[in-house]
């Protein structure tokens, strides 16, 4: 309520926010999450909470008049459709040189992502965050993150025999024929549930073309794991459809004044409120946290923030693309939406690529192998407050993807040559091979040990912390949520011991 005072306020309910909430509430601290999206716990008129990929409705997309599918075209046709403006679950946030896809609602990115739960390669982790004790991360915090997230492994015998993973087996076969290694990828989607879907004894979700607009069953999203555990303490309050717009030192009594806008389901502002919090945890995601902090510094609300705030943003080297297979290498009309395998060429410095073999669940045979390549692209961008527009710009340029494309080509040109196949040029527009205008993996903007101290404290302002993907400097070599979760576990343990003890 307006004017209230709370001990701990968490901005955002994605991975960083969910870890902060669980560890604070378990430490006996009453914790308040403010989330700009809705709670995805109530079915719509069709009896379902989320809409599927093949028939998206207003629930799919955050405040937009059309869907904005990552794979936007097929054989010359645009596949986006008109929808009603609504606080839908997936946002494609547009900056001048890149579009950033993010989840919106209680659970953040966990609501829309592919669930791939990958612990980064230790030598690369040590390279990007050299001041962090890697022994501790790999012995304590990565295992803690994996077990609390509910990470599980696919039954390999089932994988080899089910039609639902034919697309992965074709991707693997063509990779192996060119000498590239593949690896199974763990996931938070319950693979036993998926087997029951295949057998017709459980509600189809991964096998029912659901993922980027939410899964109606099977997925262990954060609302089912970390956030449910935090709620079970009785100390968690979650306020939805409220967007934090400012954080500044409170005029009296210490702590911070947090200003927020309450929005309706069409995004209209219906009230502005402020509360005071003793501690504020920024967990609005790499983009959300960076935008807020850069704005607070520029507007003089938090003027002493480090000059490193807003720096070192990257797209995790994301390059999406497709290959056209021959007719005898059909990828199947049945495709699980949950990726289970990656091509791992990371160790090759000239073609440092970890490529997820991605599904393209179209409900019909496409012969397409789709990939999301994570490349070792060291390019970075920065967030800057634009005084003319009052908004935050991100200065990433399309040309900064070239290194990632070059590495990707070194792997997949070889596969195409061996197979006598070509890239699809129709998936991202007309004659556009590389889906490099979008990322699923925004990272950085408030990097650990540089914009913050070594545990995410904004040390110029005691009681302010960063706890999400903004801490990770630009690329981590694998899908990022396990890293974000484990770092938050590590930082929260130290913060609770030292600052709240
Ligand atoms: P996250 O973005 O999860 O949460 C931030 C939350 O803050 C959101 O709920 C947002 O609504 C809220 N918020 C933002 N600004 C706010 C404000 N001002 N006030 C109040 N609330 C605010 N990763 C992976 O490891 N494996 C995978 O398979 C995939 N697949 C994938 C697919 C797709 C389609 C997407 C979009 C992303 C992925 N990812 C992924 C990426 C992964 O989801 C992402 O890295 C994490 O969700 C980031 O976690 P954070 O805690 O940083 O923020």
User: In this structure, which residue's CA is closest to atom 41 in ligand 1?
Assistant: 441
Q: For residue 75, what pLDDT is reported?
A: 84
Predicted complex ipTM? 0.99
Cβ atoms 228, 253 nearer than 8 A: no
Q: For residue 185, what pLDDT is reported?
A: 98
Which ligand 1 atom is nearest residue 116's CA? 28
- Hey, how many other C-beta atoms are within 10 angstroms of the C-beta on 72? 18
Q: Is the CB of 479 under 6 A from ligand 1?
A: yes
The two structure tokens encoding residue 3: 């004017």
Q: Is the CB of 24 under 6 A from ligand 1?
A: no
The two structure tokens encoding residue 318: 């994301």
In the reported structure, the alpha carbon of residue 102 is separated from the centroid of ligand 1 by a whole-number distance in angstroms of: 5
In the reported structure, the alpha carbon of residue 149 is separated from the centroid of ligand 1 by a whole-number distance in angstroms of: 15
Residue by residue, DSSP assigns 44-71 as -TTS-SS--SSS--GGGBBS-SB---SS
Decide: helix, strand or coil at residue 185: coil
- Give pLDDT < 70 ranges for the chain: 1
**Rounded CA separation 125/130 (Å):** 8
Cβ atoms 446, 289 nearer than 8 A: yes
Which ligand 1 atom is nearest residue 91's CA? 36
Q: Is the CB of 116 under 6 A from ligand 1?
A: yes
On the CB side of 498, how many CA atoms lie within 13 Å of its CA? 11
Pairing of strands 90-94, 99-103: antiparallel
Q: For residue 501, what pLDDT is reported?
A: 73
Cβ atoms 473, 4 nearer than 8 A: no
In the reported structure, the alpha carbon of residue 284 is separated from the centroid of ligand 1 by a whole-number distance in angstroms of: 8
Which ligand 1 atom is nearest residue 118's CA? 25
Tell how far CA 74 is from the center of its chain: 25
Pairing of strands 5-11, 269-282: parallel
Q: For residue 76, what pLDDT is reported?
A: 83
In the reported structure, the alpha carbon of residue 372 is separated from the centroid of ligand 1 by a whole-number distance in angstroms of: 17
For the annotated catalytic residues, the residue numbers are: 356, 441
**Rounded CA separation 180/418 (Å):** 12
Q: Is the CB of 322 under 6 A from ligand 1?
A: no
Q: For residue 344, what pLDDT is reported?
A: 98
Indicate the top mutation candidate among 72, 99, 108, 186 to test ligand 1's pocket, ranked by most ligand atoms within 8 A of CB: 108
Q: For residue 380, what pLDDT is reported?
A: 98
Q: Is the CB of 476 under 6 A from ligand 1?
A: no
Decide: helix, strand or coil at residue 171: helix
Indicate the top mutation candidate among 17, 22, 69, 103 to test ligand 1's pocket, ranked by most ligand atoms within 8 A of CB: 103
Indicate the top mutation candidate among 11, 12, 244, 293 to test ligand 1's pocket, ranked by most ligand atoms within 8 A of CB: 12
Place of tokens 């097929």: 74
In the reported structure, the alpha carbon of residue 34 is separated from the centroid of ligand 1 by a whole-number distance in angstroms of: 15
Q: For residue 354, what pLDDT is reported?
A: 98
Q: Is the CB of 243 under 6 A from ligand 1?
A: yes
3-state SS track over 415-468: HHHHHCCEECCCCCCCCCCCECCEECCCECCCCCCCCCCCCCECCCCCCEEECC
Give the phi and the psi of residue 426 in degrees, each rounded to 5: -115, 5
Indicate the top mutation candidate among 222, 481, 482, 488 to test ligand 1's pocket, ranked by most ligand atoms within 8 A of CB: 481
In the reported structure, the alpha carbon of residue 359 is separated from the centroid of ligand 1 by a whole-number distance in angstroms of: 20
If we measure between CA atoms, which residue out of 479, 464, 475, 455 comes closest to residue 141? 455
């Amino acid at each position: 309520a307006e004017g209230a005072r709370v001990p701990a306020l968490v901005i955002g309910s994605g991975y960083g926010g969910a870890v902060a909430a669980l560890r604070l509430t378990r430490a006996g601290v009453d914790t308040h999450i403010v989330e700009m999206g809705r709670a995805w716990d109530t079915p719509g008129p069709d009896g379902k909470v989320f809409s599927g990929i093949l028939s998206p409705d207003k629930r799919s997309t955050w405040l937009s008049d059309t869907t904005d599918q990552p794979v936007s075209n097929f054989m010359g046709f645009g596949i986006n459709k008109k929808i009603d403006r609504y606080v839908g679950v997936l946002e494609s946030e547009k900056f001048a040189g890149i579009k950033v896809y993010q989840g919106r609602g209680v659970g953040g990115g966990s609501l829309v992502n592919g669930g791939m739960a990958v612990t980064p390669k230790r030598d690369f982790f040590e390279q990007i965050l050299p001041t962090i004790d890697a022994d501790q991360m790999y012995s304590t915090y990565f295992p803690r993150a994996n077990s609390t997230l509910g990470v599980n492994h696919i039954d390999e015998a089932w994988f080899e025999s089910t039609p639902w993973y034919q697309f992965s087996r074709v991707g693997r076969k063509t990779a192996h024929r060119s000498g590239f290694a593949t690896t199974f990828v763990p996931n938070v989607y319950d693979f036993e549930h998926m087997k029951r879907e295949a057998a017709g004894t459980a509600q189809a979700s991964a096998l029912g073309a659901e993922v980027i607009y939410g899964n109606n069953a099977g997925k262990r999203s954060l609302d089912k794991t970390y956030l449910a555990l935090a709620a079970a303490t009785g100390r968690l309050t979650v306020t939805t459809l409220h967007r934090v717009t400012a954080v500044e030192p409170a005029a009296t009594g210490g702590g911070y004044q947090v200003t927020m806008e309450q929005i309706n389901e069409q995004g209209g502002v219906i009230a502005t409120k402020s509360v005071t919090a003793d501690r504020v945890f920024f967990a609005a995601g790499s983009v959300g946290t960076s935008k807020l902090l850069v704005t607070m510094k520029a507007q003089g609300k938090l003027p002493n923030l480090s000059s490193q705030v807003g720096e070192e943003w990257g797209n995790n080297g994301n390059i999406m693309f497709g290959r056209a297979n021959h007719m005898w290498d059909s990828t199947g009309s049945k495709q699980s939406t949950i990726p289970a395998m990656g091509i791992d060429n990371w160790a090759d410095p000239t073609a440092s690529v970890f490529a997820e073999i991605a599904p393209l669940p179209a409900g019909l045979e496409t012969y397409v192998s789709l990939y999301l390549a994570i490349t070792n692209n060291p390019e970075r961008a920065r967030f800057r407050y634009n005084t003319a527009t009052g908004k935050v710009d991100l200065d990433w340029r399309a040309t900064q993807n070239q290194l990632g494309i070059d590495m990707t080509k070194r792997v997949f040109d070889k596969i195409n040559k061996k197979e006598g196949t070509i890239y699809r040029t129709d998936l991202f527009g007309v004659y556009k091979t590389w889906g490099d205008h979008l990322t699923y993996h925004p990272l950085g903007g408030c990097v650990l040990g540089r914009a913050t101290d070594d545990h995410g404290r904004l040390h110029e302002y005691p009681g302010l912390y960063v706890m999400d993907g903004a801490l990770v400097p630009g690329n981590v070599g694998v899908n990022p949520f396990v890293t974000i979760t484990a770092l938050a576990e590590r930082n929260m343990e130290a913060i609770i011991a030292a600052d709240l003890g």
